[in-house]
Amino acid sequence: MDKSRFPNFYRLSIKDRVKAVYKRGLISKEDYLALKNQQQQLDLHSADKMIENVIGVMGLPIGLGLNFLINGKDYVIPLAVEEPSIVAALSSAAKIFRNYGGFKAESGDPILMGQIQVVNINNLEKARSEIMSRKEEILNLANSFHPRMVARGGGAVDLNVKTYPMSSFEQDMLIIDLHVDTRDAMGANLVNGMCEGIASLIESITEGEVFLRILSNLSDKALASASVIIPKDALETADYNGERVRDGIVIASDFAHADPYRASTHNKGIMNGIDAVALATGNDWRAIEAGAHAYAARHGRYSALSKWSIDSKGNLVGKIEMPIKVGTVGGPMESNPAVALNLRILNVESAMELARVMAAVGLAQNFSALKALVTEGIQKGHMTLHARSVVKAAGTPTKLFDQVLEKLLISGDIKVWKARDILEDLQRKTSRKPSGLIANKSSSNEAIEGIGFGKVILLGEHSVVYGRHAIAVPVPQTIRVKIEDCKESVMLMIPSWGIEYQLDKDIEQRQSFEKPAGAILERLNLSNKGMRIEVFPDIPRGMGLGGSAAIAVAIIRGLSNHFNLGLSDEEVNGMAFESEKIAHGNPSGIDNTMATFGQPLIYRTGEPPLVERLNINESFSLVVGFSRHEGVTAKTVRNVREGWRKNTAMYEKIFDDIDDLVLKSVTAIQNNDFALLGQMMNFCQGLLNALQVSNPELERLIGLAREAGALGAKLTGGGGGGAMVALVKKESEVAEAIESEGFETLSFTVSKQ
């Protein structure tokens, strides 16, 4: 029977877990009764004898790391730790490893080093020579203080001498490193005692003054190592193939070896497991930490303690090596009943064996942490990275990159040849169309399940939030959504924006950009379904064209179609409005309404809002010019709100003036009086400046448009960046004037209705 395998152990009650461990023969009946009645805990009387000023005892959870197979032996490993997920992560990693031979582990002799500092030496070289010539005498004296340790095969075994300049005084100091085999004891007091004991002899030999006599926690003679080899297929998850997980772990490992900031967190994860074993077995985890981090910096730069690589057969290979000087006998083991019980569960025969176990635990914890990071971690998942590299490898020019990427992802065939086919097809069809910020529409509509429309506000930004009218028209660009089922988690991907994120199921843990999508899923009772939501935007983000609302509408429609929910346009619009509230705080509702219906509209907030189709008797042309900076609608809306609160009467007058311009513009459009419409747009820009939502770059774009013959031009959307819209007679003249200054444009015609 595999003694460390307890299927579904976590599902058992604590009482049943204790019983299962007893039935497996890992603890005696006496230990079983102690655990059952919780009598293994340190009592107050014993605690008072361990340290000073005792007032109580603090407990830590003790969990069992399962599934460990180390050098062919099964281990159940007690872990004293308060941090959740560590025990589960270790057990999960060990379960994978045991199927492929488990861990191979080694440990060096349990050597602890003591140091003796000697100063005020007249002849340094003579002192060094004398110490080395009388080495046996010094070692014999050290061992005479601990004959029982010598009888057990331990004791002082070697020494070496080194010198350093003293930075504060004009002399050198001589350091004697005394190497002591402490066998199964931690050995701190033993080594300190030996250093004290030989101090007088050292002084007489060197004719100097012995100053410090103290052990070192950098026990680099007591190195422990562990290694594993795992086939890439064993790393496969529901959402990622084994090769990608393997490569991700290796890439993360290389990061930790190159960068000390990453290495510190990498090594902290390793110590999460090792410290938990040290605490459970009564060892000095602080000494182990000190030695580990010093060893990590042994080459003059802090680096990772573990290394992950790929062997010639494509397997993932993990290795760890670090100083682990521990004990299995001594005071802490005898004074704390929980420690003694944990050691019996662990069933190690020596301190060296315990060191090997701890090295394996550190490697297992490191594997779990890296695997989580590269599959589901902080930026959870990197599904489009490979596709982006394939598109680049196909030689795709920048202006077609997003289109090729979108079509490649929809095809599902992420190969260089496929990307080249798509590129060649696009190049054959390419005519003069907007590029850069504005993408061309995908032709792969058979895979698209939801669409949201972009918009331009002609007049009425900001005042519409306060109950006034606004005019908006749709742009030709849309946002489209494709939804695929997957086994677990909700993955949101917007490839052309570089966004790929696994939605956190814990509402409290969601970041701000996750919350709108999360709210939609919860409203539709779909938050527990596994799915991949891919968003393909033609609309640039942060440019005032209603991108966030269009995404919400496209996702809602996509979910409705994919899961056969049968939502009406009004229901879609209502849910998108709730999403906009989360995204922007105090939206007017015009963006989600335009994203839903995609028609020229007159809009006014209210209960219910006024939504009227705008009658257009004669087509007119618009040019949108994009600034180089994204606008943040929530920020500009908040700033206007703060100004309104401080100067309500003044702001209300501005809102009334904008409303008057909007209503005059409605009449102008219906009368085909586009000169008047342009004039109204220019006046409106002046009022938006009074609201302080424009900026120098937008003013420059507006100036370029007017100088090139635009009838009128103003910012559109929230402002603070984003875009301006110009009413034009000739699209090309205004667009070329703006593009000649390095800005991008979108030109389109608003057709008569």
CA distance 249 to 239: 16
Interior angle at CA 747, CA 744 and CA 753, nearest 5: 155
Which residues have a catalytic role annotated? 83, 268, 284, 382
Question: How many whole angstroms separate alpha carbon 664 and alpha carbon 662?
Answer: 5
Taking alpha carbons only, the member of 34, 207, 57 closest to residue 131 is 207
CA angle 468, 473, 478 (to 5 degrees): 125
Helices 337-346 & 29-36 angle (0-180, nearest 10): 130
User: Tokens in use for 563?
Assistant: 């899961």
Distances (CA, A) of 125 to 129, 163, 319, 642, 701: 6, 10, 42, 78, 79
Amino acid type, 604:
R
How far CA 562 is from CA of 126, 273, 420, 625, in Å, comes to 87, 44, 30, 36
Query: What's the CA gap between 144 and 156, in Å, rounded?
Result: 10
How many angstroms separate the CA atoms of 138 and 142, rounded?
Answer: 6
Residue-level length of the chain: 753
| Token code pair at residue 543 | 């440019």
- Which of 668, 644, 602, 652 lies closest to 469 in space, CA to CA? 602
User: Strands, DSSP E only, in 240-333?
Assistant: 306-310, 316-323
Q: How far apart are CA 629 and CA 142, in angstroms?
A: 73
Edge-first strand order for the sheet with 316-323 is: 104-107, 223-230, 316-323, 306-310
Q: What share of the chain is helix, strand, coil (3-state, %, to 5)?
A: 50, 20, 30
Q: Which residue has the tokens 């879609």?
A: 572
Torsion of Cα atoms, 698 then 701 then 707 then 710, to 10°: -90
Task: Describe the strand order of the beta sheet including 155-165 as a list of residue ranges.
Answer: 155-165, 172-181, 111-119, 209-216
Can you tell me whether residue 289 is helix, strand or coil? helix
- In angstroms, the CA 434 to CA 402 distance is 13
Cβ burial, residue 242 (10 Å; 0-12/13-18/19+) = middle
Strands 490-494, 531-537: pairing is: parallel
Place of tokens 């601990």: 146
Helices 398-411, 383-393: axis angle to 10 degrees equals 130
Please, are residues 57 and 41 in contact by the beta-carbon 8 Å criterion? Answer: yes
Measured distance CA(413)–CA(402) in Å, rounded: 16
**Which residues face 215 on adjacent strands?**
114
Number of Cα atoms under 13 Å in the Cβ half of residue 29: 0
E strands of 498-599, at which residues? Answer: 499-502, 531-537
Kind of pairing, strands 499-502 and 601-604?
A: unpaired
What does the alpha-carbon distance between residue 468 and residue 651 come to, in Å, rounded to a whole number? 12
Pairing of strands 531-537, 469-485: antiparallel
Q: Tokens 């059952």 appear where? A: 36
User: 213 with 195: CB under 8 angstroms?
Assistant: yes
Contact yes or no for 658/687 (Cβ under 8 A): yes
Q: How far is CA 419 from the centre of its chain?
A: 30
